[in-house]
Amino acid sequence: MKLALMCRNAELYSHRRLVEAAEQRGHDIDVIDHLRCYINITSNNPSIKYQGENLPKYDAVIPRIGASVTFYGTAVLRQFEMMGVYPLNESVAISRSRDKLRSMQLMARKGIGMPTTVFAHRTSRADEIVEMAGGAPVVIKLLEGTQGIGVVLGETQKAAESIIQAFGGVGSNILTQQFIAEAGGEDVRCFVIGDKVVAAMLRKGKEGDFRSNLHRGGTATVAKITPAERATAVKAARAMGLEVCGVDLLRSKDGPVVMEVNSSPGLEGLEKATGKDVAGMVIEHLEKEAKPGKTRTRGKG
């Protein structure tokens, strides 16, 4: 197959591994920086220009779009879709998962376990927001934050109210969530391909940090997940309409709860923790599924 990998930095571990896996399986793969693409929107002959040339016809495209450039990245991906190129993840599904509020509303509609969550913009009644989330301690998040940035723990009622008011003072949309204390600063990243969890790792935050993100100094080990965790991860992926994604779970006393569904999950921590060739599994999935003009309709909304 002739493949395109959409990404900003070809040297990142995840992107190098995807290129290696594709080439090892005999495929031709081009790395394309989506921010350097120009889209020609025409009725009968849509095209994408890159480095002065129209891009050739690809069998499939692997989108690795950073959160900060979601709008333009998904626009380029939509153009590939208009040209009949099979997307590993569809543009609408990526946009859906990147909207934290919308993604949580969709998962709630499907009955997927989540922490009690309150969304707010005006914060003059911060005490009510904390109360609605179940009382302190609560986790307060900027709606646009990624990789643990803009995530703060309000350990007491007064501290939580102060944080909410501070975020509100700069005009930010915020999520206030129930703090799952029994998780102990750990979460489980499940890597979903199609209808299966193909690998899972347990991430633990550095000493004194309730956030488990590897970018914040956390560590990762292989995880043995339960049937309920496996089913929850697959159900969350389906709710977003994503074919390949990372689903982050917390282990609460009431069962697994979903924190986030990531449409461009990193491979480095997962492959090193589990010893699995996850990049190869992604390419193998494309080999089975990629058909020109094929689209998916799993996710709704």
**CATH number for the domain that contains residue 49:** 3.40.50.20
The pLDDT averaged over each successive group of 10 residues in the chain (301 residues) is 97 98 98 97 92 96 95 97 96 95 95 94 88 95 67 94 87 88 92 97 75 63 96 98 97 95 96 97 96 49 44
Identify the pLDDT of residue 43.
Answer: 81
In the sheet that holds 47-50, the strands lie side by side as 37-40, 47-50, 53-54
Q: Do 248 and 158 share a domain, yes or no?
A: no
Q: Which residues of 201-218 are buried (b: 16+ CB within 10 A; e: fewer)?
A: bbbbbeeeebbbbbeeeb
Does some domain include residue 106? no
- Looking only at the bridges linking them, the beta strands covering 2-6 and 28-32 are parallel
Does some domain include residue 294? no
Q: State which residues form the domain around 205.
A: 182-289
Q: Do 21 and 86 share a domain, yes or no?
A: yes
32, 56 in Cβ contact below 8 A? no
3-class state of residue 233 by DSSP: helix
Q: Do 164 and 197 share a domain, yes or no?
A: no
Does some domain include residue 276? yes
CATH of the domain at 157: 3.30.1490.20
Identify the pLDDT of residue 55.
Answer: 97
Answer whether 0.75 is exceeded by the pTM.
yes
Q: Do 203 and 150 share a domain, yes or no?
A: no
**Which among 153, 167, 178, 155 is positioned nearest to 123, based on CA atoms?**
167
Q: Where does the chain have alpha helices with state H?
A: 13-24, 70-82, 91-98, 100-109, 126-132, 157-169, 227-240, 268-274, 278-289
Q: Which residues of 284-300 are buried (b: 16+ CB within 10 A; e: fewer)?
A: ebbeeebeeeeeeeebe
Respond yes or no on whether the N-terminal peptide bond of residue 137 is cis (omega within 30° of 0).
yes
237, 192 in Cβ contact below 8 A? yes
Identify the pLDDT of residue 283.
Answer: 98
Q: Do 145 and 170 share a domain, yes or no?
A: yes
The DSSP bridge partners found for residue 178 are: 138
Residues 6+ positions from 293 with CB-CB distance below 8 Å:
84, 86
Does some domain include residue 207? yes
> CA-to-CA distance for 127 and 189, rounded, in angstroms?
33
8, 66 in Cβ contact below 8 A? yes
What domain count does the chain have?
A: 3
Q: Do 240 and 229 share a domain, yes or no?
A: yes
